[in-house]
Amino acid sequence: MYAYIARDARGSRVTGRVEAATEQAAAADLSARGLAPVRVEAAAAPAARRGRVSVRRLASSYQQLSDLLRAGVPLLRSLRLLGRGRADPRLGAVWSQVADEVADGSRLADSMARHPRIFPPVQVALIRAGERGSFLEQVLARLGVFLNHQADMRSRVVGNLIYPVILLVGGVLVLVLALIFLVPKFRPHFAKMEIPVATRFLFAISDLFVVWWPIVLPALAALLVAGAVAWRRQRVRRTVAIWKLRIPKVGGMIRSIAVARVTRVLGTLLDNGIPLIQAMQISREAAGHPLLEEAIDRATEAVRGGESLSRPLGESGFFDEDVIEMISVGESANNLPQVLVTIAETMEGRIDRTLAIAVRLMEPLLLLLLAGGVVFIFMALVLPLMSLSSKL
């Protein structure tokens, strides 16, 4: 895409953009339209540099590119068609840049690798393998299915957590408003009487929001900044990750999610012709847990030394015994990619069932906690008044 400044037949100044392979081709296109180019330069595409794109949009573009190539459309023309897509202008701008780089002689995978915020290394590695092995259409189709599966998994998790989060936020907001506006109105009634410990505790919490907020808010902000600075240290993240694994039920869920993600990525890479060592190095980036990343590093070194994959993974303690046994059988039967994908599907099914049960238990538990907070406020305020009235 080139931005131009030109003069028409009347000498009026005309500006706009034109799509062409080179700057000279853009100038020739303008001349053919009866415009005299004054300046032609590559147009900046800021939208291509901002953030990430939707996973489903990216999956759809991979599927569309696969369909175009399977129908016999040349690669460069297919990329140009993706660049003209209006469903996501940001993704379209990226595909236009990739098309320009391919037109200049770059490989598709190399061009995509220059946009790491849009195309992760896992996807680039699969594209590179498809280019080298002449099965690019199949790789793109599998990438579309893979990304759609990831999006479905994420949407199920988020969907299961929406109601509990709304319930928690709404309940906490009600309690905070009660501490700010309701509780202080009862304080004058207790000015000349001995109040119980629960009432004093309630008034102390209310004072944090009403009286001491100029101190509390900066203190909370300082704690958040200190936490953000500490989180940048690898040692802190590793310590927090270890403690998360020790939480009952939650630790097992975190471990299962990380293992399912790694086994699916590793199985997909191996199924598309990526060598085992390279596939393990790429799947390490999808682990999302420092302990699992360390286990994959040790397993990679062991495999590079001629050992099997199952033994070092089993020694890490991150994988269950049945998973290690399936990996060992897959290595022996020479069908490791299919076994890894099967493991991922099995574990994802367990995760879905566990999340569904946890959400069902979470909803009544949150209701009980919020009801307990309301009852505590009521008892701490009303019981002393009832006691005083009975004495009178």
Residue type, 132: R
CA proximity to 349, closest of 251, 256, 244: 256
- Determine which helix (DSSP H) or strand (DSSP E) holds 96, and give its type and residue range: helix 89-103
User: Where are the chain's structural domains?
Assistant: 2-43, 51-145, 146-392
| One-character DSSP codes across 134-172 | T-HHHHHHHHHHHHHHHHHHHHHHHHHHHHHHHHHHHHH
Q: Please say whether the beta carbons of 36 and 6 come within 8 A.
A: yes
Each residue's pLDDT tens digit, 331-384: 888 888 899 989 988 888 888 888 778 878 887 888 888 888 888 888 888 877
CATH tag, 146-392: 1.20.81.30
Q: List, in order, residues 6 or more apart from 114 with CB less than 8 Å away.
A: 101
- Determine which helix (DSSP H) or strand (DSSP E) holds 4, and give its type and residue range: strand 2-7
Distance CA 329, CA 326 (A): 5
Q: What proportions of the chain, in percent to the nearest 5, are helix, strand and coil?
A: 75, 5, 20
Which pTM was predicted?
0.65
Q: Do domains 51-145 and 146-392 have the same CATH topology?
A: yes
pLDDT score of 221: 92
Question: Which 8-state DSSP code applies to residue 54?
Answer: -
pLDDT score of 389: 62
Q: Distance between terminal CA atoms of the chain?
A: 86
Each residue's pLDDT tens digit, 302-318: 888 888 888 888 887 78
pLDDT score of 51: 53
CATH tag, 51-145: 1.20.81.30
pLDDT score of 46: 43
Low-confidence ranges of the chain (pLDDT < 70): 21, 43-52, 387-392
pLDDT score of 130: 79
